[in-house]
Structure 1
């Protein structure tokens, strides 16, 4: 199953995507390291990547998290990922939106399109009510993605995540179902 935009499509990663996903992560490790939280885990290996994709499929089957590859329509090249993580049901009906794009493909509108497709999936297929995203204040490109999709700035979450050994503030953004419904009707 995949969801298509004008330039890209998103779909869950499969076993056939392991090599491309591993290589993309290795190629962008330093670039993404500026923004990714510190994890207490060893450097990813090919076997770790196989396990990660399997774990993501299991988490989706249990309605806990949804993880999609971002692919160029023209070439089917894997160029990034977008996720709907930490799905909460009950009275919250929410999740956290995250995304990464291969550095070589930045600035072409691909991330905005992928996040918009993931948001559509969250509201229209998963029937969630609220989506949240956090971005480091100096990550202007990522902040712009959220704003173009329709997220609202809520304020600063002080010392939210540990990145490169330092607790970093994050700009908090959200979108609720009524925001999405208004955007769709335009």
Structure 2
């Protein structure tokens, strides 16, 4: 993971929160993964990597998993700069939606910065629909960023 993030640092910086230098190291990634695994054990997160051979070329997560009457999660994803345009992001998001449905979730949501047209195309390609705007939604790249919100209803069967 450290190598993947270091290799893609400039590619991801416009879309990510600002990162401490340690994030790009093996120790930093070990700590990040340990925290994520704790969230996985609590049922709050499902995390996956996208690989090409032995190389990590992306990630997709189901974040903020909520059961009960909501049965929802947020999807987040990225793809290595050298592997763009191959359908990996669409495949990863589709995979995450299948995993969400298998967990009994009703919907998956996503937010993209308003100017992130490539990510919006990915979401629309795999069946997400826009449903609103969130002004100053997330602190990304050193500023509060407006986001276009999307959702995909997975099924209408109450569980």
The reply to whether TM is greater than 0.5 is yes
Name 2:26's counterpart in structure 1. 46
Name 1:160's counterpart in structure 2. 137
Superposition TM-score, scaled by structure 1 size = 0.78
Per the alignment, in what secondary structure is the counterpart of residue 105 of structure 2?
Answer: coil
Contact 2:97 2:154 in 1 (8 A): no
Which residue of 65, 70, 73 maps to 2:45?
A: 65
- 1:102 lines up with 2:102 in the alignment: no
Contact 2:108 2:153 in 1 (8 A): yes
Name 1:147's counterpart in structure 2. 124
User: Post-superposition shift, 1:42?
Assistant: 5.3
Cα distance between partner residues in 2 of 1:56 and 1:165: 23
User: Post-superposition shift, 1:129?
Assistant: 1.1
Cα distance between partner residues in 2 of 1:54 and 1:165: 25
Cα deviations by residue, 1:143-166 (Å, 9 ceiling, x for unpaired): 111011100111211110122222
Name 1:136's counterpart in structure 2. 113
Superposition TM-score, scaled by structure 2 size = 0.90
Number of positions where the alignment pairs a residue of Structure 1 with one of Structure 2: 156
Cα distance between partner residues in 1 of 2:5 and 2:21: 14
Per the alignment, in what secondary structure is the counterpart of residue 178 of structure 1?
Answer: coil
Name 2:65's counterpart in structure 1. 87
Relative to structure 1, is the Cα distance of residues 89 and 42 closer, same or farther in structure 2, using a 3 angstrom cutoff?
farther
- Alignment RMSD: 1.7
